[in-house]
Structure 1
């Protein structure tokens, strides 16, 4: 009896998660766990419940933003299968040496985490992140992965996605971001609740300039 129920649970888990991933290939995620969590944190601080987001289709986004995302967050996005082993090993060595913590997550991994999971780190979450990363690489196109990433990622205090970020920081649509504006938005992603694309620190501005220099070296999904 126990084996039968265990088997049913395992089969049910795979059936539900695979259906979920396939569905979101065609349906835009309406909200994420992180958005809700941050909204309640904002409310608890006495600032009201804040979630600013507006979906913008991939083809409507500035190509500057797409290239900036790849240049700044995942240089091998177009060629890896969801996991950049070289970046992971570099991050491991840097963290082990005592230098400031650095992640090795790809755009695919960050998308899987943001859409399907929760932000707190644990081995369980990391295992599920690996699983969902494999699924979206299997069932979604690179274009869809980048589209979802740029629409759900946290880009400021209560600000999610490229369109809301462009409006918040530069009073314009993400359709018409310049190279530097796009690079500044991507440059703050390691800590979007602390850094501001409108008033970049020396580090953020330097990182944005580096992104601008390399943007045209990368192809984007068509």
Structure 2
């Protein structure tokens, strides 16, 4: 008696579907891994002095067909007035930490756990990592990605290179990126010729350059810029990693 073989026709499509799902999941995981690894490779590339990094915001301007204004300036060509003012306004311990100011970070976490209003704890390396590789907005995911990138960048780059990149990708208004474009747009001068007052106004505009316009400061912004200007004049002990 002939015994007809079992019909496996229904099983084969199911096996093919499972194999297709596995391949798709594997591709997604590889794509996610590539996105996570790419910034660390770029950190190595950007250590080369002739590279001129662009930020994710600058790339989004291009994607939206808006364009942007940025003229790269070496740190040697940027006024020390701006370097001092930005450091005193944004990250006074820039020369002392390794990318993350853990003391400041701990204070912020403790305030949050106590239900108190928190202040910013972002260092210049953290802001540089965010601007280069991540996105704006507050989220634990972004902060979790930002911290190791800041540590990695600070480990690979010298402090002058870090400051140079930061001052060339910082946003100073709609479509205005970098110190030279900011100086030209707001004060009709070069970043190499900024006065202490102009530098302080640009520094205090950084946290929100859309509401804080350096060339049109309100009373509160002018008062804050005065504080930064005084701190910048007395910053000699804090900036030795840039100006020995």
TM range (shorter): 0.7 to 0.9
Q: Deviations over 1:72-124 (max 9, x none)?
A: 100100001111133334445389434xx631100010001101112233222
**Compared with structure 1, are the counterparts of its residues 39 and 201 closer, same or farther at alpha carbon in structure 2 (3 Å cutoff)?**
farther
Q: What does 1:112-131 correspond to in 2, within 5 Å?
A: 112-131=129-148
Question: Within the alignment, does 1:182 sit opposite 2:199 as a pair?
Answer: yes
Pick aligned residue for 1:103 from 120, 129, 138: 120
Q: State the alpha-carbon separation in 1 of the partners of residues 38 and 185 from structure 2.
A: 36
Give the structure 1 partner of residue 57 of structure 2: 34
Q: What does 1:123-142 correspond to in 2, within 5 Å?
A: 123-142=140-159
**Compared with structure 1, are the counterparts of its residues 214 and 58 closer, same or farther at alpha carbon in structure 2 (3 Å cutoff)?**
same
Contact 2:39 2:133 in 1 (8 A): no
TM-fit CA distance, 1:15: 6.0
TM-fit CA distance, 1:185: 0.3
Runs of 4+ that moved beyond 2 A: 8-19, 35-40, 85-98, 120-124
Q: State the alpha-carbon separation in 1 of the partners of residues 88 and 218 from structure 2.
A: 20
**SS of corresponding position for 1:53:** coil
Judge which range, 68-77 or 14-23, deviates more: 14-23
Q: What does 1:1-222 correspond to in 2, within 5 Å?
A: 16-26=38-48, 27-29=51-53, 31-37=54-60, 49-92=66-109, 93=111, 96-98=115-117, 102-216=119-233, 217=235, 218-220=238-240, 221-222=242-243
Q: State the alpha-carbon separation in 1 of the partners of residues 155 and 212 from structure 2.
A: 34
**Compared with structure 1, are the counterparts of its residues 170 and 12 closer, same or farther at alpha carbon in structure 2 (3 Å cutoff)?**
closer
TM-fit CA distance, 1:56: 0.5
- Which 5+ residue runs of structure 1 have no aligned equivalent? none
Cα RMSD between the aligned structures? Answer: 2.6
**Compared with structure 1, are the counterparts of its residues 109 and 206 closer, same or farther at alpha carbon in structure 2 (3 Å cutoff)?**
same
TM-fit CA distance, 1:129: 0.6
Contact 2:61 2:175 in 1 (8 A): yes
Contact 1:39 1:158 in 2 (8 A): no
Q: State the alpha-carbon separation in 2 of the partners of residues 120 and 152 from structure 1.
A: 17
Structure with bigger gyration radius? 2
Number of corresponding residues: 209
**SS of corresponding position for 2:227:** helix
Q: Deviations over 1:157-183 (max 9, x none)?
A: 211110000000000000010000000
Q: State the alpha-carbon separation in 2 of the partners of residues 188 and 58 from structure 1.
A: 20
Q: Deviations over 1:23-71 (max 9, x none)?
A: 0111111x2211233567xx7xxxx714111110111000000000111
